Copies of this chain bind each other. A is one copy, B any other.
Amino acid sequence: MEKGRIRVTYRISTECSNASARARDICLEQTVEVTEDIIRDQWIGDHIVGKIEEIREIGENTFHVIISYAEEITGYNLSGLLNLIYGNISLKRGLWVERLDLPLSFVSHFRGPRSGIKGIRERLGICHRPLLAAPLKPMGKNPEALAKLCFELALGGIDIIKDDHGLADQDFCPFRERVRLCMKAIRKAQKETGRTILYFPSLTGEYEKMNALFQWASEEGVGGILAAPFITGLDFMRYIAENDRIGLSIMSHPALTGTFFNDPCHGVGHQVLLGTLMRLAGADMVIYPNFIGRFPFTREICQSINNALSEPLYHLEASFPVPAGGISLSKIPQLKEAFGRDTVFLVGSSLFSRSDDIVDNARYFLSLVESEEKKTPLQER
């Protein structure tokens, strides 16, 4: 396959007279990291140094700059890609990654989501409605208590039950014990309801331990695992996702990504970081804060992530968006309208505080996503 170029659209904040110098600075900083005078080899200047494809003024002192990079600089892996698009310039100011366009010749090195929307729906046997997810919390409960909660949620109709992402392999809640008991609860609920329920345990920890625990969890029959790739390494998530011996689906958590989005003039666009990169790294479901919870994400941001998770990207399956972060059950109808059918709604506190009857709370949650769907004939959707 012919080698392609990776195109990054940066939004840069600078004075007009300075725009092309700043664009050129990105081209050098992200590749050769030397001043112009040191580049004496023509191939390096023409091919390795980033190339300015376009500079367009989009507002006062604001420009879209498209820079293309030779894909082989990445070494065809995610660490190389992250470094190429934003490694050094993250340490500068006023540079926002707006868009990432990847050539097939690069993307062909990645499998992407193992299951994706299609695969997760097939496993659950549910095609007509958004999916329901709930977390096992609060941290500090022992494995027995979490397994009891897991059973009640499963019995009430939750499709996907996940650990809180702070759970790992702590003394007060060891990973193996938790997974063993929760899987027992899941199997019992599956038997009672005839439904499939997927359990995604969380594990962060020492590299030398994680592989073995993931493989063990896979053999226990978990639905997949919850990963926080910007803590444990984006390529490590890809490695778990693509590893057929482990064979697990992935739900990704956005922990520690917040500073990428905090300053609207400097960072990496939500749709790039939580959209394209998570999908490329194999996340089947991508958790992020919804627009009416306790985090400062807007509706437009959520939409941009959803687009990046589902737009055509060669052979890559589409991934589920998982809006979360303080969703109240009362907002589900509104969110359902905003997010559409191919969404996993993750609800925590609101589901637990509605009443002491968790099974009933879960049933109520299910009724909120099912009710309207039933009014609409399938062919109209």
Q: Is the CB of A33 within 8 A of B82?
A: no
Q: Is the CB of A48 within 8 A of B90?
A: no
CB contact under 8 A between A239 and B208, given known A172-B72, A348-B33: yes
Residues of chain B within 8 A (CB-CB) of A337 are none
Q: Is the CB of A34 within 8 A of B255?
A: no
Q: Is the CB of A352 within 8 A of B38?
A: yes
> Is A124 an interface position by the 8 A CB rule?
no
Q: Is the CB of B170 within 8 A of A75?
A: yes
CA distance in complex: A23, B91 (Å): 29
Q: Is the CB of A259 within 8 A of B259?
A: yes
Residue from B86, B232, B266 in contact with A233 in the complex, judged by beta carbons closer than 8 Å = B232
Residue from B39, B207, B238, B258 in contact with A90 in the complex, judged by beta carbons closer than 8 Å = B258
**Binary interface encoding of chain A residues 309-326 relative to chain B, with 1 for a CB under 8 A from any of its CBs, else 0:** 000000000000000010
Residue from B32, B207, B235, B239 in contact with A139 in the complex, judged by beta carbons closer than 8 Å = B32
CA distance in complex: A294, B25 (Å): 10
Leading 9 A-B pairs by shortest Cβ distance: A233-B233, A90-B258, A32-B138, A44-B140, A48-B140, A87-B255, A91-B258, A79-B204, A259-B259
Known: A73-B170, A83-B166, A83-B204. 12 other contacts (CB 8 A): A31-B140, A33-B139, A33-B166, A38-B353, A44-B139, A83-B256, A87-B255, A87-B256, A91-B258, A206-B238, A207-B236, A207-B239
